[in-house]
């Protein structure tokens, strides 16, 4: 036995001398140890344990209607169930590669982050990087639970001896939660406003705010500040503060008033006011609300009206739209131009700008526009917009608000009415077809050229007509040479004709094709017998022959 021990010691020393390190079986997680006599004398064993992690939020109270940040705090208390060397105890109690996922889907909050990584968590406490959270304004005060899931790897058992160590690793997934609280406090919202301001003038505006929170506010004041130097308060300041009273209960409304001025060269648009409520809470601590917004729309210094709108607009036609522009004051305007607009793509306004004379308050002027209405337009009441540009008394250019006006678009109707004066033709004959042509439109037409289109058995040696001028509702007759083939049947045939014409503005247009019915008839030749009579005689002769033959037999 002694020899064997000596041999083992000698073998161990030999291995240490040549640098060969024995391994512990086929375990890939084993750490090589120096083989020495001292190590052989150490005892072998196991260290058993696991991490014990709890998770919480570093900030647990939030205000409604805010975006904040918090960190997650991870505390690892680590459990040792079988002790051993400290390095192995640290191994079994450390959570490695910790990842955390916040499940905010079933909560009223928006946690704007993906997976949170915490790295290795030994025993003790670590914190994550900041995490953003949005608390909606309408969330009720109280305590809320947000589910979280975290996952990590750890070593459950370390088996060690003089030759090294073997680790049994595991992955752990844990469902947990964090708790946050939405605090009870005063909270404010703009619920009503009368904030229209006039360019170049001073206006009074009023804002009504409501305490939509759960606690009263004391000694509240509302500060308003302008985001534009074109809108100022009082004597030109960029902000103003109004006192709202000593007590402001939940659901109570308070109205504050301000005097605002818009510069003469201010743009006609809505301006933004920032509002903050400074107050004392129920604990006697001064607080400032989140910043509220209020819009200040503006009106021009001048007012206009559109009256007596008349139109001749019709689908697939060019028509006129007329109206009266009235200067409602308060200033005399110079070099005004009335611009007509429409949002309907089927309407094309020719030259939409109409120049007016200078207008004093109460004076008016008539405007008229030419409008092309496409065939795709609907026959209905159409809305138009008028905009007045003008120079004020200081010679500065201004533009009014849009003024709405309605005009009716009539149903489509043919440009011409074409009727036959005589509509009967004889097969095998040539005749003159007379047509009655009426200008069915509302404008005089010039250089009207008609072209006939004929199919067999109809033909023409002269298929064109010309009308020099035709006023609205005026009628004239034209003639077309018409020939009918001798083999034509007794029935109605179509005679087609269209017209090319010139409008008063010089544009040339082509009408639709008009179809005129032509009744073709057959007649007997001079000195001959009518065909029906010849046929009847033939039948009688044939019958008489049969009777004569039968009697001879």
35 pLDDT band (50/70/90 cuts)? very low
Q: What integer pLDDT is reported at residue 524 of this predicted model?
A: 63
Higher pLDDT, 2 or 94: 94
Q: What integer pLDDT is reported at residue 73 of this predicted model?
A: 93
pLDDT digits (tens, 9 = 90+) for 444-480: 999 999 999 888 898 888 889 999 999 999 999 998 9
Q: What integer pLDDT is reported at residue 228 of this predicted model?
A: 92
Close Cβ partners of 236 (under 8 Å, ≥ 6 residues apart): 261
pLDDT digits (tens, 9 = 90+) for 211-221: 988 889 999 99
Burial of 183 (0-12, 13-18, 19+ CB in 10 A): middle
Q: What integer pLDDT is reported at residue 72 of this predicted model?
A: 92
Q: State yes or no: pLDDT of 506 exceeds 50.
A: yes
Element holding 65 (H helix, E strand): none
Contact criterion met (CB below 8 Å) for 510 and 498: yes
526 pLDDT band (50/70/90 cuts)? low
Write down how long the chain is.
Answer: 553
What homologous superfamily does CATH list for 43-182?
Answer: Immunoglobulins (2.60.40.10)
Q: What integer pLDDT is reported at residue 199 of this predicted model?
A: 84
For tokens 């390095």, name the residue. 87
Q: What integer pLDDT is reported at residue 279 of this predicted model?
A: 94
Contact criterion met (CB below 8 Å) for 105 and 155: no
Q: State yes or no: pLDDT of 30 exceeds 60.
A: no
Q: State yes or no: pLDDT of 39 exceeds 80.
A: no
Higher pLDDT, 185 or 24: 185
142 pLDDT band (50/70/90 cuts)? confident
525 pLDDT band (50/70/90 cuts)? low
Q: What integer pLDDT is reported at residue 135 of this predicted model?
A: 87
Residue 545 is encoded by which pair of tokens?
A: 């022959």
**CA 169 to CA 502: how far, in whole Å?**
96
Q: What integer pLDDT is reported at residue 40 of this predicted model?
A: 39
C-beta contacts of 107-115 below 8 A and 24+ residues apart = 107/144, 107/146, 108/135, 108/136, 108/139, 108/144, 109/133, 109/134, 109/135, 109/136, 109/139, 109/144, 109/146, 109/180, 110/134, 110/136, 111/146
Q: State yes or no: pLDDT of 177 exceeds 80.
A: yes
Q: State yes or no: pLDDT of 167 exceeds 90.
A: yes
The domain 303-408 having CATH identifier 2.60.40.10: the answer here is: yes
Across the range 311-335, mean pLDDT stands at 91
Same topology for domains 43-182 and 303-408, yes or no? yes
Residue 266 is encoded by which pair of tokens?
A: 């201010």
State how far the alpha carbon of 124 is from the alpha carbons of 12, 59, 94, 120, in Å.
41, 19, 10, 11
Higher pLDDT, 211 or 139: 211
State how far the alpha carbon of 71 is from the alpha carbons of 5, 256, 527, in Å.
60, 40, 121
**CA 446 to CA 139: how far, in whole Å?**
75
Where does 416-521 sit in CATH, by number?
2.60.40.10
Q: What residues does each domain of the chain span?
A: 1-38, 43-182, 188-299, 303-408, 416-521
pLDDT digits (tens, 9 = 90+) for 245-289: 899 999 999 999 999 989 888 888 999 999 999 999 988 989 898
**CA 23 to CA 39: how far, in whole Å?**
14
Strand locations in 16-114 (E): 45-50, 53-57, 61-62, 66-70, 72-76, 79-82, 95-102, 110-111
Element holding 541 (H helix, E strand): helix 531-552
Q: What integer pLDDT is reported at residue 394 of this predicted model?
A: 65
The domain 188-299 having CATH identifier 3.30.930.10: the answer here is: no
Higher pLDDT, 15 or 277: 277
Lowest mean pLDDT among 42-46, 48-52, 308-312, 406-410: 42-46
304 pLDDT band (50/70/90 cuts)? very high
**CA 259 to CA 515: how far, in whole Å?**
73
């Amino acid at each position: 036995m002694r020899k064997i021990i000596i041999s083992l010691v000698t073998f161990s020393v030999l291995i240490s001398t040549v640098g060969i390190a024995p391994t512990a079986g086929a375990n890939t997680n084993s750490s090589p140890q120096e083989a020495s006599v001292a190590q052989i004398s150490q005892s072998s064993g196991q260290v058993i344990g696991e991490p014990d992690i709890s998770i919480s939020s570093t900030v647990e109270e939030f205000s409604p209607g805010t975006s904040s940040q918090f960190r997650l705090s991870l505390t690892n208390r680590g459990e040792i169930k079988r002790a051993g060397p400290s390095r192995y105890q640290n191994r079994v109690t450390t959570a490695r590669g910790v990842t955390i996922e916040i499940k905010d889907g079933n909560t009223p909050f928006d946690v704007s982050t993906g997976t949170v990584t915490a790295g290795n968590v030994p025993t003790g406490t670590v914190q994550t990087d900041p995490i953003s959270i949005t608390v909606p304004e309408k969330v009720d005060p109280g305590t809320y639970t947000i589910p979280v899931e975290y996952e990590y790897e750890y070593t459950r058992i370390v088996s060690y001896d003089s030759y090294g160590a073997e680790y049994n690793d595991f992955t752990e997934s844990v469902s947990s939660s964090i708790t946050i609280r939405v605090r009870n406090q005063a909270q404010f919202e703009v619920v009503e406003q009368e904030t229209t301001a006039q360019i170049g003038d001073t206006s009074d505006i009023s804002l009504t705010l409501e305490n939509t929170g759960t606690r009263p506010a004391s000694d509240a004041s509302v500060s308003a500040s302008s985001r534009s130097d074109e809108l100022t308060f009082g004597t030109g300041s960029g902000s103003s503060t109004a006192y709202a009273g000593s007590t402001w209960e939940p659901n109570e409304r308070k109205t504050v008033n301000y005097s605002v001025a818009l510069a003469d060269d201010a743009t006609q648009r809505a301006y933004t006011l920032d509002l903050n409520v400074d107050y004392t809470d129920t604990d006697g601590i001064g607080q400032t609300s989140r910043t509220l917004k209020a819009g200040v729309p503006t009106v021009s210094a001048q007012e206009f009206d559109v009256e007596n709108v008349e139109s001749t607009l019709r689908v697939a036609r060019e028509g006129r739209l007329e109206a009266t522009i009235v200067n409602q004051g308060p200033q005399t305007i110079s070099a005004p131009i009335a611009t007509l607009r429409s949002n309907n793509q089927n309407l094309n306004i020719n030259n939409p700008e109409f120049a007016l004379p200078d207008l004093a308050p109460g004076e008016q002027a008539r405007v008229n526009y030419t409008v092309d209405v496409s065939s795709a337009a609907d026959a209905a009441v159409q809305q138009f917009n008028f905009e007045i540009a003008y120079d004020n008394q200081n010679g500065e250019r201004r533009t009014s608000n849009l003024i709405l006006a309605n005009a009716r678009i009539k149903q489509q109707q043919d440009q011409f009415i074409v009727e036959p004066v005589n509509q009967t033709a004889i097969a095998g004959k040539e005749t003159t077809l007379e047509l009655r042509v009426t200008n069915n439109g509302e404008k005089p037409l010039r250089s009207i050229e008609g072209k006939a289109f004929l199919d067999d058995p109809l033909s023409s040696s002269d298929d064109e007509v010309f009308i020099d001028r035709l006023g609205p509702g005026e009628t004239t007759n034209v003639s077309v040479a018409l020939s009918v083939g001798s083999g034509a049947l007794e029935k109605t045939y179509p005679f087609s004709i269209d017209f090319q014409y010139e409008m008063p503005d010089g544009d040339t247009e082509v009408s639709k094709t008009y179809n005129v019915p032509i009744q073709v008839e057959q007649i007997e030749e001079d000195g001959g017998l009518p065909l029906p009579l010849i046929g009847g005689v033939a039948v009688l002769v044939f019958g008489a022959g049969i009777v004569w033959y039968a009697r001879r037999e």
